[in-house]
Chains A and B, each alone.
Chain A
């Protein structure tokens, strides 16, 4: 909405500041001037002032016009506001006043209807101030009768309508439409009405869609001689309903939807009539004013509310202008501000509870409670004139999951994984394929109004989002990526959505073979390592805080279908899946047109966070030398490392402090297909003594025997 500073100043003569300062002062009081444009001068060199581009919050419909903003300026500068001139030429008397009725079924939506008959008018182009201001505002002038209505809307914010009186059959009846009733509007469209559309009708047909748009058949034309001017009050919800239903957002509906001024009806009617009569014609009879008392009681005639100066000071606190033991927000200041805004303040009957009884202005339906008045006081006084004070601090309670989350995050960052955030949504296809590691509930959660077809579901797993981010990198020739995301996944039903914490890992890139893993497999084992590393941050149970939860992990070759069978695994803790990881299934990779393999993991963080954080227990570092012994064996492929390790641990050699595979070698050419060579390293150490050669030899012999029993053959 745009405002002319010159027009505004006609309502508040004596504003001492220039337009820029005026704009700033208004903005600091919540009447936001978004832009100030110099309008230059007119042909006689008189400055045209400035055009203010306003951004008025929806609750302040009263300030969406020149007079409303002028009232704010008058309040800020403590200046009088010029009242409207509503005097009309003497009316011709009439024996039978024009008939205006509000039907009973419309009395809860039409609170007031004023009508005035103007006879012998001349339809002509607008001139004078109307033409001048319209040109500066960039508004299209049509004719004096139509422009008068728009001019009054810009001036004081109240919508009005002018009917061609001679097209009205009998009189006005404000009523609800009949379902299916047809009405051709000013925009030329014919609308089919519903039973709760409010219409202004005559005794045979609907004339206009109340509060939204006038009708075609009764519009002002150059031939119009007699006019009926309407200014009314309609219920916001009713107007919003009709406006939405018919897809018509008009200046009038915009105002009515936000709550019009009940008492503005006769004033607006007079203002429009006066403008039309400037080109000739006379009023006939008195203003017809139909009021629904029940609606008047909750708009114009609301009961006064109590305001306590103590509450004003209690809510707002210290100001920069405070004197010792004396707030700058005195009863006098409060009275001055609120009176200027249109409130009527009287001393409250019970002065112990409240200072003032405040009658609220009819144009401020947003004011209802004491706190609303306190806000007005703060606003007019100026927010930036309050001091900066600090409330007392309370001790900070750590969030129960904060330490665990920070430990996981820090570990992943240290392991080289970068933090990422992906979409919260998933396609139906991905929803069917990807599932959280250990879903609490099975159903996928669909959205009523998804952003797109690819985002119909709330993500049931972080994996599709991670996959999309890896693909984003690979498609841009970024070939190496390590990413993680901690986030919520959603399962359950439309009645009960279960939100679980999940972790995804994504890995793409060329990796070099290690002495244990081929280049092709090393990424899978890196993910396994990350899973173990995260578990090692946590303890197996509250009773054994020193024992790493990673020690309780087992791994199964079963994994969800989105991972490649045989190149993926599930990590289980106490037999329950806690993570799955591996290479993305070839089908998924092809569907996404990825040329290189990518590796994913997903972990159930709720399960992880149920474990206590590990508190390491230090053990003595032996003063005696450790002895390292390497063994080289050939095993059939069927013999897994787990069997080898278990066989050795089963020997129960307490001094065996470390056991690790050092190198795995497969040589398909050497006629050794189906078997592999393993270099095994054992470290023996005692806390109590230096180990003797004979016992070391004995342990080695037992170890060799155990591995031979497994089918291994020692290599010389």
Chain B
């Protein structure tokens, strides 16, 4: 591959300009012409090597030819001013050459690769967007001083319902809502096995095993007897939290979740709390965050309300503490959750919903399909 000089090749051997006189004015004019020649050749894309050879070539370089010709016939007193001017011209040429190497316009082409082809890399695996979101939520609570606790997916009625203050005939206990392990009818109600419908049983398991203070965050898979559609799945994931100590207050619950939502969705996010009802908390609340898409102005995603409902929470119901202490006594442990001093709060959120909001995912089914076309978007 050869570069192209801006000037025709014929100039290579063009005649040496004649110098009419050796006075200062004639010298200045003659060197100005040579300087303009150099500038001309380097002002447009050019082959730097050809340019170097043409001017600085050891035998046939133009600089040598011109200086040989002019010095040969120069009077002694003109040699010094001539020499100074040739040095200046040489510096100009070298500076032009240094500039050319800094812009490797043609050099990559010379190396013979098409750098515009796609980069090659061993593809790494992709974190599941749902589990990534779940891990992010858990990390937020780790930073707030919560430790991870886990529990089984097959639970007893006691841990999933009874200890959490669900009355015996609560609709959630119906097989229409809960997947039940076969062959449980003959067992005492509290021992019947089912697929946990929430991560809340881990609250009970933790408090039975450990006296207050408690700060746990519980990520996990839960199941309900729900028909699958775009926003429902019989399998889904929750992150639960529990904070129990002396004199934990409702304003602590508010502050904690407000802080966590800002950590997850950005410091500009606002939270709003509504009274709600859960058997295992009192007071209970639903929490909304200001819409992260329209900053609360109202858009399609928040149904023009400016708010998105995100989680449920509340102060731990005294009945839950009573169940825990009962169970602790049954296991030979001292009571540790007397409500005269101990109080606490719990909260739970659906991870699918949060990940769907974060990533604009319209169908919950994508999470469980293993579809590479879906996962690759999160690489």
Contact = CB atoms under 8 A, between A and B. Distances in A.
Question: Does B associate with A?
Answer: yes
Interface of A: 27-30, 32, 57-60, 237, 240, 314-319, 369, 371-372, 374-375, 378-379, 383-384, 386-399, 402, 412-424, 445-451, 458, 466, 468-470, 472-473, 476, 478, 480-484, 487-488, 490, 494-495, 497, 499, 506
A375 B315 CA distance: 9
B332 interface: no
A424 B273 contact: no
Nearest to B272: A384
A372 B252 contact: no
A687 B1 CA distance: 50
A314 B249 contact: yes
Given A448-B181, A448-B184, A481-B370, A391 B252 contact: yes
B343 A315 contact: yes
A318 B249 contact: yes
B231 to A, nearest CB: 17
B146 interface: yes
Given A317-B249, A420-B128, A449 B180 contact: yes
Contact of B182 (A446, A483, A487): A446
A419 B144 CA distance: 27
Given A449-B175, A481-B372, 20 more contacts: A27-B274, A30-B277, A57-B277, A58-B277, A315-B315, A316-B249, A317-B250, A375-B284, A388-B255, A390-B259, A391-B243, A391-B248, A399-B149, A413-B127, A423-B368, A448-B179, A448-B182, A449-B179, A476-B371, A494-B182
A484 to B, nearest CB: 7
B154 A372 contact: no
Contacts, number: 228
Given A391-B248, A488-B153, A478 B145 contact: no
Interface stretch (B31-39, B62-70, B118-126): B118-126
B87 to A, nearest CB: 52
Nearest to B376: A418
Interface string B121-137: 01111111011000000
Contacts of A415: 125
Contacts of A383: 250, 254, 273-275, 283, 285
Contacts of B187: 495
The dominant DSSP class at the B interface is mixed
A413 B125 contact: yes
Contacts of A422: 368, 370
A487 to B, nearest CB: 8
A664 B188 CA distance: 64
A419 B125 contact: yes
A421 B131 contact: yes
Nearest to A236: B169
A450 B131 CA distance: 26
Q: Which of A391, A466, A468, A481 has the most CB of B within 10 A?
A: A391
Contacts of B183: 446, 448, 494
Q: Which of A420, A469, A472 has the most CB of B within 10 A?
A: A420
Contacts of A445: 154, 181-182
Interface of B: 122-128, 130-131, 142, 144-150, 152-154, 169, 171, 175, 179-184, 187, 193, 195, 213, 215, 221, 223, 225, 227, 234-235, 243, 245, 247-252, 254-256, 258-259, 272-277, 282-285, 315, 317-318, 343, 367-373, 375
A201 B153 CA distance: 49
5 smallest CB-CB distances across A and B, nearest first, come from A317-B249, A30-B275, A469-B370, A393-B145, A317-B251
Contacts of A419: 125-128, 131, 375
Contacts of A60: 277
B251 A414 contact: no
Contacts of B256: 390-391
Contacts of B181: 445-448, 458, 494, 497
A32 B274 contact: yes
Contacts of B142: 396
A483 B372 CA distance: 9
Given A384-B272, A446-B181, A499-B154, A473 B372 contact: yes
A28 B272 CA distance: 9
Contacts of A319: 251
B318 A388 contact: no
A478 B373 contact: yes
Given A420-B128, A448-B182, A369 B283 contact: no
Contacts of B213: 394
Contacts of A476: 371, 373
Given A393-B144, A412-B125, A416-B122, A451 B225 contact: yes
Nearest to A455: B234
Contact of A423 (B147, B150, B235, B273): B235
Contacts of B277: 30, 57-60
Contact of A369 (B175, B275, B315, B318): B318
Q: Which of A384, A449, A469, A506 has the most CB of B within 10 A?
A: A449
A397 B146 CA distance: 8
Contact of B153 (A398, A449, A499): A499
Contacts of B367: 421
Contact of A424 (B193, B221, B259): B221
A490 B375 CA distance: 27
Contacts of A396: 142, 145-147
B127 A386 contact: no
Q: Which of B125, B223, B255, B276 has the most CB of A within 10 A?
A: B125
Contacts of A413: 124-127
A315 B370 CA distance: 46
B369 A469 contact: yes
Nearest to B248: A391
B154 A387 contact: no
28 contacts: A28-B275, A315-B249, A372-B282, A374-B282, A374-B283, A375-B283, A384-B273, A387-B255, A388-B254, A390-B256, A393-B145, A399-B147, A412-B125, A414-B125, A418-B126, A418-B128, A421-B130, A421-B368, A423-B235, A423-B368, A466-B370, A469-B371, A470-B370, A473-B371, A490-B154, A495-B187, A497-B152, A506-B370
A466 B122 CA distance: 23
Contacts of B343: 314-315
Contacts of B124: 413-414, 416
B145 A447 contact: no
Contacts of B255: 387-390
Contacts of A488: 152-153, 221
